[in-house]
Amino acid sequence: MLYFLGIFCIMTGAFGYGKAYMYRQKSHVLLLYRMESIFRLMQSEITYKKQSLPQACLEIGKRMPEKEGEILTEIGRQAQDGSGRGFREIWKEYWEVYLRDSPLELEERRILLEISQFTGYEDEHIQQEMLERQKERFADIRKRKEDKNREQNKLVMTLSLSAGALLILLLL
pLDDT of residue 118: 62
What are the Cα distances from residue 157, in Å, to 14, 16, 21? Answer: 8, 9, 9
Question: Model pTM?
Answer: 0.75
pLDDT of residue 162: 85
Q: pLDDT-based confidence at 122, cuts 50/70/90?
A: low
Residue 125 has pLDDT above 80, yes or no: no
- pLDDT, the chain, mean: 83
pLDDT of residue 62: 87
Q: CB neighbours of 153 closer than 8 A, spacing ≥ 6?
A: 22, 25
